[in-house]
Chains A and B, each alone.
Chain A
Amino acid sequence: MTKQVSLPVEGMSCASCAARVEKALKAVPGVKNAAVNLAAQKASVEYDPQQATVADLARAVLELGYRVPAEEISFSVRGMRCAACAARVEKALAQLPGVCEAAVSLPAEAARVSFYPGTVTPAQIKAVVRELGYEVAEREGAGEALDRESLARREEIRQQARNMLIAWPLSLLVMLGMFRDAHPLFLWALTTPVVAVAGRQFFVQSIKGLKKGVTDMNLLYATGIGAAYLIATINAIWPQAGFGGRGATFFESAALLTAFIVLGRYLEALTRGRTSEAIRRLLQLQPRRARVLRNDREVEIPADEVIPGDLILVRPGESIPVDGRVVEGHSAVDESMLTGESIPVEKKPGDEVIAGTVNRTGFFKFVATRVGKDTVLAQITRLVEEAQATKAPVQKLADFVAGHFIAGIHVLALAVFLFWFFYGYEAFFRPDSRFILSPYGLAEVGVFGFALLLSVSTLVISCPCALGLATPSAMIAGTGKGAENGILFKEAVAVEGLASVQVVLFDKTGTVTRGEPSLTDAVPAAGFSQDELLRLAATAEKGTEHPLGKAISRGAEAAGLAAEEPEEFEAVPGHGVKARHRGRTILVGNRRLLEREGVPLTPLLQDAEELERDGKTAMLVAVDGKPAGVIGVADTIREEAPQAIARLKEMGLRVMMITGDNRRTAAAVARQAGIAEVLAEVLPQDKAREVRRLQAEGYRVAMVGDGINDAPALAAADVGVAIGAGTDIAKETGSVILIRSDLRDVVSAVEIGRATMRKVRQNLAWAFLYNSLGIPVAAGAFYPSTGLLVSPELAALFMALSSISVTANALLLKRFVPTFKKGR
């Protein structure tokens, strides 16, 4: 049986390219025929799916240096209960021909699938998930998602609370009854509603899964509860059956097992919602209503009905409903919820405002520029959601184990049963046997009851819930913590990557420095004061568009010096400017300008050279043919740079700077910032090569730069950190996006990455430890020496505690405060 796919191929420029691709495809074992259409940039391939996969075809094309572009879809998957469910969906998606990558997140209830268009359609991808018995839904807008998510969470919590109300009082009564030697039929009557009502969910979901040939945690619970209940019932109704008689009814096992599992589910529903609190908080920022001016009348409309161009009014205390530009009024806006910046930002006409931020003081009007899914808030929410749906490499082992665990646990339970049935009971059974933390004796238990008890306890204690939750719960908390501080991790791999980087490579211009020159020095010559020098230079530069001239004007303005309009102005290209003001001729420029005008340079040379040694640009000033002084202009470093770089070094990281500038300027900037290693005179296109060179030396590199200009280097690095994204999040490349232009956020990002990975490691260690200790204990490894057994209900308690402790440990990340946020 052959299949036909149409694979998109990019990068073919001529017929010979097409022929090469065709030949390579035909050489793949299992390919019957291949035809490449150069104009359509598509390869039509007929192949035998038993011998070749779409991935093989794509690999053959990629190896030739052409691209096979993949598309990506994200959708919600509802109804997943455990890590095994997520693993199952992921496996089924990944096995679809044409799918190159699939990631399913249980806590985020989301699937993200990359596929080659033409080989499989989004409808087919979703159909696979539906076939497995899960519900597929489109990713909704912020408001709908919030409603749906909180509704579903409330419903689950309510349902499990109701089950607990049934299970717990009755289970405690059963336990009391066991102590008081109550009649077994009375205990049966109390236990039955616990199993049939509170435990019904496990049986229903197991049967649903089994009908489709799939197994999950519910089956573990159902098998455990069912077996305990059945044996207890047989012993109560038919004591002579040989299962231990009335002395071994174990109704409390069936009842408490159910009660503990329900408790676990309840607590899990509570905590699982909390790990994705960041998304909820972001969604809640979105105001539902907007006050719009239409036909000169103020009307209140739903925020999603605002269209670009609408004029919106915002009063003090109100949230800004959409993105826009202020046209009238002044105010201070609290942007902390999006940028992490605690000080309100002044807004005046021409400034941008962002949806979800809060107007603090004044009243203003703004024009809507971005609405709905295009707002910065919606983009941030989408990014965080997408990041939370991805998986870190560290999760792969846990997923593999969780995904294969269910069958493995049943094999283990079978082995435990066979061992104790055929050998263990006869060899080790002691009449003084009892359960851990229980006063019951197990003297009357027969071989079948004994082996079954151990088998059931093993089933229950082995549940890999904790293992499945260990990484995603920490990742969700970590990415949420990032979002809270204006740090957006695009994927979980970036969190893991940032935690393990060894080199942080900063781009200079716009990253370590502000990216625009500013006035640094004004050194007057004899006969001139500093203020006079600056005022004259600013007057000459008044109106100039040159960045150096503008830096002088801004510097004079900042110093409170008023520059006047010159009567005559001449820009001398490549030299500087010449102006006349109140009868005086002012020259501001380089040496060549002054030489050309016959001004003696000697008195200024020493100062000029000193400034240049510090990496500054020296502008010489002359008035009426006499040297008046030297003005230093430089791209100044960000004031927080030395502090941030010192902290990175303290954290054991190697900090370097890369720039296209000359060595002298680069060294001067690096010295001020506290960076010892500089890669200077590197052309923009060669920055990525430098990153790869460091990687070849064995370093894991984080590149920090402007997300747009430094895109190749950011992409080449292990982690690309795009700084100062502001409102242009969508344009950014890097896998970590910093909304603000603050180098301290780089430190915070690394700290959050490390804190998250610490939690992941703690969680994984705990989950593995729990399972590796719990299983032998439940299987009776210590029974021969102690005579103690783990009861099924105690196994359920341990299982619930392990899941809850992992999620609760991840929740502790909420208390994590990055160094530079402390005290801010």
Chain B
Amino acid sequence: MPAKGSSAALLYTAISLAAALLFLAATYATRKPYPLLARLGGAAWVFLLSMIITMPLVISRAARRHGSPPPS
């Protein structure tokens, strides 16, 4: 079901983006002199790992809600 798939994709992307932004904010909040690329690279890494972590969880939950067997 595309609706189910796209809403799940939207959700895990949003969560991962939020995690990456949170990371970026934290690099400034700590007031340490991190190079810009370390901040951006770190945010990208956090985004990637967050996507990998949240993707199966969100898809599985969405599948359960729609009454079909989850893929994982």
Give A residues with C-beta under 8 Å from B: 1, 3, 49-50, 88, 91-92, 95-96, 128, 131-132, 210, 212-215, 219, 223, 227, 231, 241-243, 407, 410-411, 413-414, 417-418, 421-422, 426, 446-448, 451-452, 455
Given contacts A242-B35, A448-B38, A448-B41, contact A414 B55 (CB under 8 A): no
| Contact status A95-B55, CB under 8 Å | no
* B48 smallest CB distance to A (angstroms): 7
Task: Name the residue among B35, B45, B46, B60 with the largest chain A CB count within 10 angstroms.
Answer: B45
**Alpha-carbon separation in the docked complex, A287 to B52 (Å):** 50
Smallest CB gap from A415: residue in B: B49
Smallest CB gap from B30: residue in A: A422
10 A-B residue pairings within 8 Å (CB atoms): A92-B71, A210-B55, A213-B72, A214-B59, A215-B72, A414-B46, A414-B53, A446-B35, A448-B34, A448-B42
20 new A-B contacts at CB < 8 Å, known A219-B52, A414-B53, A418-B23:
A3-B67, A49-B67, A91-B72, A92-B69, A92-B71, A131-B71, A213-B72, A214-B59, A215-B56, A215-B72, A223-B48, A242-B37, A243-B38, A407-B53, A411-B53, A414-B46, A448-B34, A448-B42, A451-B42, A452-B45
| Contact status A213-B32, CB under 8 Å | no
State which of A96, A213, A418, A448 has its C-beta within 8 Å of the C-beta of B55: A213
In terms of DSSP, what is the predominant structure of the interface of chain A?
A: helix
| Contact status A410-B53, CB under 8 Å | yes
State which of A214, A227, A411, A422 has its C-beta within 8 Å of the C-beta of B45: A227
**Alpha-carbon separation in the docked complex, A255 to B8 (Å):** 35
* Contacting residues, chain B, for A88 (C-beta < 8 A): 71-72
**Alpha-carbon separation in the docked complex, A132 to B59 (Å):** 12
State which of A96, A210, A212 has its C-beta within 8 Å of the C-beta of B69: A96
Question: Is the C-beta of B13 less than 8 angstroms from some C-beta in chain A?
Answer: no
| Contact status B72-A92, CB under 8 Å | yes
| Contact status A223-B52, CB under 8 Å | yes
| Contact status A95-B70, CB under 8 Å | yes
Tell me the residues in window 24-72 of chain B with beta carbons closer than 8 Å to chain A beta carbons. 26, 30, 32, 34-38, 41-42, 45-46, 48-50, 52-53, 55-60, 67, 69-72
| Contact status A447-B70, CB under 8 Å | no
**Alpha-carbon separation in the docked complex, A223 to B30 (Å):** 28
Smallest CB gap from A92: residue in B: B69
| Contact status A452-B41, CB under 8 Å | yes
| Contact status A407-B56, CB under 8 Å | yes
**Alpha-carbon separation in the docked complex, A1 to B66 (Å):** 10
Smallest CB gap from B57: residue in A: A407
* Contacting residues, chain B, for A242 (C-beta < 8 A): 35-38
* Contacting residues, chain A, for B52 (C-beta < 8 A): 210, 215, 219, 223, 407, 410
* Contacting residues, chain A, for B71 (C-beta < 8 A): 88, 92, 131-132, 212-214
* Contacting residues, chain A, for B35 (C-beta < 8 A): 242, 446, 448
| Contact status A417-B53, CB under 8 Å | no
| Contact status A243-B56, CB under 8 Å | no
| Contact status B49-A417, CB under 8 Å | yes
| Contact status A447-B37, CB under 8 Å | no
* A411 smallest CB distance to B (angstroms): 6
Smallest CB gap from B50: residue in A: A414
Smallest CB gap from B12: residue in A: A213
* Contacting residues, chain A, for B8 (C-beta < 8 A): 213
* Contacting residues, chain A, for B36 (C-beta < 8 A): 242
In terms of DSSP, what is the predominant structure of the interface of chain B?
A: helix
| Tally of contact residues, B, Cβ under 8 A | 30
**Alpha-carbon separation in the docked complex, A34 to B19 (Å):** 48
Smallest CB gap from A88: residue in B: B72
* A27 smallest CB distance to B (angstroms): 23
Smallest CB gap from B62: residue in A: A213
State which of B46, B70, B72 has its C-beta within 8 Å of the C-beta of A417: B46
| Contact status B37-A243, CB under 8 Å | yes
| Contact status A241-B37, CB under 8 Å | yes
* Contacting residues, chain A, for B60 (C-beta < 8 A): 213
- Leading 6 A-B pairs by shortest Cβ distance: A213-B59, A242-B35, A448-B38, A242-B37, A214-B72, A414-B49
**Alpha-carbon separation in the docked complex, A426 to B50 (Å):** 24
* Contacting residues, chain A, for B32 (C-beta < 8 A): 426
* Contacting residues, chain A, for B30 (C-beta < 8 A): 422
**Alpha-carbon separation in the docked complex, A50 to B66 (Å):** 10
**Alpha-carbon separation in the docked complex, A91 to B69 (Å):** 9
* B63 smallest CB distance to A (angstroms): 8
* Contacting residues, chain B, for A452 (C-beta < 8 A): 41, 45
Smallest CB gap from B19: residue in A: A414
* Contacting residues, chain B, for A411 (C-beta < 8 A): 53
**Alpha-carbon separation in the docked complex, A645 to B2 (Å):** 66
Smallest CB gap from B44: residue in A: A230
Smallest CB gap from A96: residue in B: B69
**Alpha-carbon separation in the docked complex, A426 to B30 (Å):** 12
**Alpha-carbon separation in the docked complex, A590 to B11 (Å):** 90
Given contacts A131-B71, A215-B72, contact A447 B53 (CB under 8 A): no
**Alpha-carbon separation in the docked complex, A189 to B49 (Å):** 28
**Alpha-carbon separation in the docked complex, A655 to B42 (Å):** 66
**Alpha-carbon separation in the docked complex, A407 to B57 (Å):** 9
**Alpha-carbon separation in the docked complex, A489 to B34 (Å):** 62
Given contacts A213-B59, A215-B72, A410-B52, contact A417 B67 (CB under 8 A): no
**Alpha-carbon separation in the docked complex, A813 to B52 (Å):** 39
Smallest CB gap from A452: residue in B: B45
| Contact status A447-B72, CB under 8 Å | no
Interface string of B4-24 (1 = CB under 8 A from A): 000010000000000000010
| Contact status B45-A243, CB under 8 Å | no
Given contacts A243-B37, A417-B49, contact A215 B69 (CB under 8 A): no
| Contact status B42-A421, CB under 8 Å | yes
* A424 smallest CB distance to B (angstroms): 13
**Alpha-carbon separation in the docked complex, A446 to B42 (Å):** 12
State which of B26, B37, B70 has its C-beta within 8 Å of the C-beta of A422: B26
* Contacting residues, chain B, for A414 (C-beta < 8 A): 46, 49-50, 53
**Alpha-carbon separation in the docked complex, A3 to B58 (Å):** 24
**Alpha-carbon separation in the docked complex, A447 to B32 (Å):** 11
